[in-house]
């Protein structure tokens, strides 16, 4: 305590009978010590003093003698009250505040309880309209939130050009002191003696059962609350108006009959680790030009919206959770702006995010789950930007854009939307890249004439149609994968406009692509595989251009052209179908450079039914030009990775024969056991699926760790064929690549190059030899990291349609797996290929000899084993490769020996003797 102490007690010598009497006797810096009891008086503190309870919090209660006047009025700076219970009054049907702090005054309440009436801090009068505000109340603030509209990047800061103040940071919350001035939490006034604002500090307080606002800061007031509870306010919990500033840490606000927190005019609010629950109105409401920042905020069961922004308000949320809103979780309207990072909105009884008017919302790494309406709804001229978000489930749409709204999604997951995953109508526009839409009724439904632009997205397991372009709608689809839709893969309705570049439609329960009467899509490089019905169906009078497309495995004819259909097919191919073409009378197709193979009843003009030649030109997509959504040009890789032909004939192989072939390989006993165990696991998975049971987690991607020549490529090829026989891969072929096939020489080259190799391996195995070269020990700005990131993304998008095997030296593969966080989860199993011993190397030579009709003598076999046993096993040792090189040298030496014989016998031509062994052996 500082200064003198003035005692207050109902009785006893030397004590004041009232607190008011003690305050009259006090001087600046004195302390008033109050004994337990109930004091009915209206206190006015006009000097910087401290009021203490003698026996701790709750032992002293102050009730207003005049219920039209606050129990405590503060007109001085640096006033502190500890442990008091303060009650407000009710006169003529209206509530009177329990505590009032007037302009130029400062009050700190510690461990106090306030009931019946709230707390008001009244700063100087403030013009509620910002200087220079335009009629839209927006750009006059120098708002850079959507600077991207002029070509810049969105910003999370809101700068007031007229005042040079960053509102989003809520600077100067320490009650208006100059920068660098010390802050005394017990005496929150200005240390130099002139508090320019009404200032309020709440620490460990409880404010309950109040009429009107529980805490109201107005004008230029400044406030802070720490570890404080606001309960049962008959009205608003916390109200900020004028140019007030308020910061709260660990505030718990429950049971307000109105809004939990309302921020109006030019007021600003900062919340950290706070909770707002069970409010009658919105949990947080910001109007006019208000500013809010919140981190760690928890909102539960608000009676209206979780966070609502109107006018030109701004809010920045981080790690916030909104649960059980009676209407929408987030509502942004008028010209308001919202940014949210790492937030969760769940259980809203309307939309998760609703954006109206000219408002804008930017959400990053945010989840919107379990809404009653569409998870995200944008209307009017609203703008929504979603990045790395998870949307759904929803009984309506995942993302719904109408009016002239614009929705932009990047690397998002939209799942289990009962109507559509992504839906546009009116004049709304949509752009989505790297997104995954799963389990929707319709994956993407484009009804707006402004095109829905999708790049590198996956639409999986749609209940009906994967992508539908409605009458009057437009879509541009680049490298889109549509897999296992319940009806058709891509449908272009009459009056719809569609452009498709690359990508695939797989395992459709209906047709792959359906074009209705009058529609004429432009389709380039699309692969349609495994559809239960027709691969490409054109209705009566439909048209379009199909270039470098492939249709395979269709249950009905690969192409069906109805009457008067007039499409053009350029350099397309059909394979593995019962019938390639079905024409109705009057159809007028054009075929240019097309062919079919492995077709039982070929009828397509110029078709052949032989092993497929290579396409006249490479199919578009990853290996060809890939126009961007905005039409900014194309990227063309310098070269396509060398791979096996895409068009190998389909050969059915039995699982038993393949396992026997695996068992016949020389050595590799641990690898054979591991592969056998994987086959048994996958057989069980297949049987569970056939029985209607969910499949257990199954990691099919593998790491092959071993030195060169240990059989990694051979086993990889067998592994793909085994998975094909199990029905877990469509083709089971092997595409072998290394760093040179994936990594480009300049910026923008690596991604398309890697994607091209990956696309060629779809349905089979992508074998990356010396994979560690993609993650060199001293990476710097190495393009290998881009190749790895591209592979990780593609493996996720096509996880059911490919197996990736990364191979290399055992000591280096750990570095490769650690180079990207996504690799460890996808490569969960490593097979180790040990070096061959001498006897196994001899077996490899014998296998090569038998394959080429040679025989080793017993002496040659013995000498060869000794040679391999003493062979140095340094970096140049190639295991099986070395054995094959030895065999080649032996056949060359044998040929020279036999050529010198005058009349060689048949036995001479096939026998390999000790003299045919490498010179190092022969000279021993």
Name the nearest CA neighbour of 394 among 447, 343, 340, 437.
437
How far, in Å, CA of 853 to CA of 427, rounded? 73
CATH number at residue 242: 2.160.20.20
Name the nearest CA neighbour of 495 among 536, 446, 462, 537.
446
Helix, strand, coil percent content, the chain, rounded in steps of 5? 20, 30, 50
Q: Do the domain assignments include residue 716? A: yes
pLDDT at 659: 85
With tokens 């094909």, the residue in question is: 724
Phi then psi dihedrals of residue 166, to 5 deg: -90, 100
pLDDT at 876: 53
Q: State the residue range of the domain holding 680.
A: 655-833
Q: Do the domain assignments include residue 884? A: yes
> For every residue of 257-271, which 3-state class applies, written as one string?
CCCCEEECCCCEEEE
How far, in Å, CA of 521 to CA of 541, rounded? 13
Q: Do the domain assignments include residue 266? A: yes
Same domain assignment for residues 736 and 876:
no
Element (H, E) at 733: none
Same domain assignment for residues 256 and 350:
yes
Which ranges of the chain have pLDDT less than 50? 128-195, 607-650, 921-924
Q: Do the domain assignments include residue 70? A: yes
Contact of 333 with 353, CB cutoff 8 Å: no
Omega prior to 888 cis, within 30 of 0: no
Strands 734-737, 765-768: pairing kind: parallel
What is the CA angle 67-69-73, rounded to 5? 135
Residue 35, phi-psi category: left (phi > 0), alpha (psi -120 to 50), beta (remainder): beta
CATH number at residue 719: 3.40.50.300
Phi then psi dihedrals of residue 743, to 5 deg: -105, 130
Neighbour tally for 27: CB within 10 Å = 11
Same domain assignment for residues 14 and 163:
no
Same domain assignment for residues 764 and 903:
no
Same domain assignment for residues 887 and 818:
no
How far, in Å, CA of 422 to CA of 403, rounded? 15
pLDDT at 381: 97
Same domain assignment for residues 844 and 814:
no
Tokens representing 58? 């709750």
Same domain assignment for residues 733 and 868:
no
pLDDT at 840: 83
Q: Do the domain assignments include residue 347? A: yes
* Residue ending a domain, choose from 801, 833, 865: 833
pLDDT at 881: 75
Same domain assignment for residues 57 and 75:
yes
> What are the CB-based long-range contacts (under 8 Å, 24+) for 168-173?
168/291, 168/293, 168/314, 168/316, 169/293, 170/245, 170/247, 170/268, 170/269, 170/270, 170/291, 170/293, 172/222, 172/245, 173/222, 173/224, 173/245, 173/246, 173/247, 173/270
- pLDDT (tens digit, 9 = 90+) per residue, 34-92? 999 999 999 999 999 999 999 999 999 999 988 889 999 999 988 999 999 999 876 55
* Residue ending a domain, choose from 804, 833, 862: 833
With tokens 């923008």, the residue in question is: 748
How far, in Å, CA of 211 to CA of 256, rounded? 10
Please, what's the b/e burial string for 372-391 (b: 16 or more CB within 10 A of its CB; e: otherwise)? bbbbbbbbbbbbbbbbbbbb
Contact of 321 with 297, CB cutoff 8 Å: yes
Tokens representing 72? 């405590």
Which residues, other chains included, contact 908 with Cβ-Cβ below 8 Å and sequence gap of 6+?
A: 898, 901
How far, in Å, CA of 488 to CA of 464, rounded? 7
> For every residue of 340-377, which 3-state class applies, written as one string?
EECCEEECCCCCCEEECCCCEEEEECCEEECCCCCCEE
With tokens 């680790």, the residue in question is: 273
pLDDT at 685: 76
pLDDT at 41: 94
Contact of 147 with 155, CB cutoff 8 Å: yes
How far, in Å, CA of 414 to CA of 393, rounded? 8
Q: Do the domain assignments include residue 327? A: yes
pLDDT at 184: 42
Residue 828, phi-psi category: left (phi > 0), alpha (psi -120 to 50), beta (remainder): alpha
pLDDT at 919: 65
pLDDT at 328: 97
How far, in Å, CA of 853 to CA of 843, rounded? 15
The total domain count for the chain is 4
Q: Do the domain assignments include residue 858? A: yes
Same domain assignment for residues 221 and 360:
yes
Same domain assignment for residues 82 and 162:
no
Q: Do the domain assignments include residue 332? A: yes
pLDDT at 622: 30
How far, in Å, CA of 168 to CA of 345, rounded? 22
> What are the CB-based long-range contacts (under 8 Å, 24+) for 410-413?
410/386, 410/434, 410/435, 411/387, 411/435, 412/386, 412/387, 412/388, 412/436, 413/389, 413/437, 413/438
Tokens representing 723? 């998975």
How far, in Å, CA of 762 to CA of 400, rounded? 32
pLDDT at 900: 80
Name the nearest CA neighbour of 462 among 482, 491, 448.
482
* Residue ending a domain, choose from 365, 398, 418: 365
Name the nearest CA neighbour of 552 among 577, 525, 572.
577
pLDDT at 920: 52
Same domain assignment for residues 252 and 331:
yes
How far, in Å, CA of 37 to CA of 32, rounded? 15
Distances (CA, A) of 801 to 262, 642, 757: 52, 21, 14
What is the CA angle 131-133-134, rounded to 5? 150
Q: Positive or negative, the Cα torsion across 885, 888, 892, 898?
A: positive
Contact of 326 with 302, CB cutoff 8 Å: yes
Q: 669-690 and 655-663 helices cross at what angle (nearest 10)?
A: 160
pLDDT at 169: 28
Q: Positive or negative, the Cα torsion across 606, 610, 613, 617?
A: positive
Same domain assignment for residues 825 and 865:
no
pTM of the predicted protein model: 0.63
């Amino acid at each position: 305590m500082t200064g003198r102490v003035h005692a207050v007690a109902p009785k006893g010598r030397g004590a004041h009978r009232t607190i008011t009497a003690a305050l009259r006797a006090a001087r600046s810096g004195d302390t008033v010590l109050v004994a337990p009891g109930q004091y009915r008086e209206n206190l006015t503190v006009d000097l910087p003093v401290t009021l203490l309870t003698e026996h701790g919090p709750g032992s002293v209660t102050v009730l207003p003698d005049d219920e039209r006047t606050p129990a405590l009025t503060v007109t001085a700076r640096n006033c502190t009250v500890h442990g008091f219970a303060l009650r407000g009054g009710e006169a003529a049907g209206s509530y009177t505040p329990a505590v009032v702090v007037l302009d130029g005054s400062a009050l700190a309440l510690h461990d106090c309880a306030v009931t019946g009436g709230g707390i008001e801090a009244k700063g100087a009068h403030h013009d509620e309209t910002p200087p220079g505000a335009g009629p839209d109340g927006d750009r006059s603030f120098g708002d850079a939130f959507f600077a991207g509209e002029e070509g810049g990047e969105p910003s999370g800061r809101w700068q007031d050009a007229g005042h040079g103040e960053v509102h989003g940071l809520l600077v100067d919350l320490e009650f208006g002191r100059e920068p660098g001035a010390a802050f005394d939490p017990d005496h929150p006034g200005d240390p130099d003696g002139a508090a320019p604002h009404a200032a309020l500090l709440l620490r460990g307080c409880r404010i309950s059962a109040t009429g009107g606002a529980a805490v109201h800061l107005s004008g230029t007031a400044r406030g802070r609350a720490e570890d404080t509870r606001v309960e049962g306010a008959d009205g608003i919990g916390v109200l900020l108006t004028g140019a007030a500033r308020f910061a709260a840490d660990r505030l718990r606000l429950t049971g307000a009959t109105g809004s939990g927190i309302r921020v109006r005019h030019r007021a600003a609010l900062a919340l950290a680790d706070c909770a707002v629950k069970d409010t009658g109105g919105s949990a947080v409401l910001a109007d006019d030009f208000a500013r809010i920042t919140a981190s760690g905020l928890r909102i539960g069961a608000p009676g209206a919206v979780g966070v609502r922004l109107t006018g030109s308000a701004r809010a920045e949320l981080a790690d916030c959770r909104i649960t059980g809103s009676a209407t929408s979780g987030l509502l942004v309207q008028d010209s308001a702006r919202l940014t949210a990072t790492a937030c969760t909105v769940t259980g809203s009884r309307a939309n998760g995010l609703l954006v109206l008017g000219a408002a804008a919302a930017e959400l990053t790494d945010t989840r919107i789950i379990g809404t009653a309406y569409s998870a995200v709804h944008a209307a009017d001229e609203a703008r929504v930007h979603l990045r790395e978000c998870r949307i759904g489930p929803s009984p309506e749409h995942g993302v719904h854009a109408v009016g002239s709204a614009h929705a932009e999604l990047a690397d998002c997951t939209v799942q289990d939307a009962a109507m559509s995953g992504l839906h546009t109508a009116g004049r709304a526009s949509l752009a989505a890249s790297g997104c995954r839409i799963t389990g929707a009724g319709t994956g993407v439904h484009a009804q707006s004439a402004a095109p829905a632009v999708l790049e590198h997205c996956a639409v999986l397991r749609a209940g009906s149609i994967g992508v539908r372009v409605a009458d009057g709608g437009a879509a541009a689809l680049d490298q889109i994968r549509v897999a296992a839709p319940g009806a058709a893969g891509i449908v272009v309705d009459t009056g719809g406009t569609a452009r498709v570049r690359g990508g695939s439609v797989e395992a459709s329960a209906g047709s792959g692509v359906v074009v209705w009467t009058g529609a004429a899509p432009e389709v380039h490089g699309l692969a349609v595989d495994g559809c239960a019905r027709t691969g490409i169906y054109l209705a009566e009078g439909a048209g379009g251009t199909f270039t470098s497309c492939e249709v395979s495995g269709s249950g009905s004819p690969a192409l069906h052209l109805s009457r008067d259909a007039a499409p053009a097919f350029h350099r397309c191919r059909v394979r593995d179908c019962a019938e390639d073409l079905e024409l109705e009378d009057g159809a007028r197709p054009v075929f240019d450079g097309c062919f079919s193979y492995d077709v039982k009843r070929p009828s397509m003009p110029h078709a052949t039914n032989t092993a497929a030649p290579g396409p006249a030109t490479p199919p578009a997509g990853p290996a060809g030009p890939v126009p961007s959504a905005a039409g900014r040009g194309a990227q063309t890789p310098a070269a396509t990775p060398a791979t096996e032909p895409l068009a190998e004939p389909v050969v059915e192989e039995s699982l038993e024969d393949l396992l026997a072939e695996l068992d016949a390989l020389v050595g590799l006993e641990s690898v054979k056991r591991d592969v056998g165990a994987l086959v048994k696991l996958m057989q069980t998975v297949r049987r569970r699926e056939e029985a209607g049971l969910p499949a257990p987690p199954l990691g099919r991607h593998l790491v092959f760790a071993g030195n060169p020549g240990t059989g990694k490529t051979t086993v990889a090829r067998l592994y793909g064929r085994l998975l094909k026989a199990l029905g877990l891969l469509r083709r089971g072929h092997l595409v072998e690549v290394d760093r040179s096939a994936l990594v480009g020489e300049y910026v923008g080259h690596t991604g398309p190059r890697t994607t091209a190799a990956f696309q060629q391996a779809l349905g089979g195995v992508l074998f990356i030899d010396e994979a560690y070269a993609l993650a060199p020990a001293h990476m710097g700005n190495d393009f290998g990291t881009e190749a790895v990131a591209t592979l990780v993304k593609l493996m996720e998008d096509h996880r059911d349609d490919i197996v990736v095997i990364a191979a290399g030296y055992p000591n280096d593969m750990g570095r490769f797996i650690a180079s990207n966080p996504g690799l460890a989860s996808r490569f969960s199993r490593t097979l180790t290929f040990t070096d061959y011993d001498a006897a196994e190397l001899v077996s490899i030579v014998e296998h090569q000899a038998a394959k080429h009709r040679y025989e080793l003598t017993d002496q040659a076999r013995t000498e060869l084993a000794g040679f391999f046993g003493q062979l140095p096993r340094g970096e140049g040792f190639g295991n099986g490769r070395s054995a094959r090189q030895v065999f080649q040298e032996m056949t060359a030496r044998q040929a020279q020996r036999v050529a010198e014989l005058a009349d060689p016998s048949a036995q001479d031509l096939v026998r390999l003797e000790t003299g045919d062994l490498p010179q190092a052996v022969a000279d021993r």
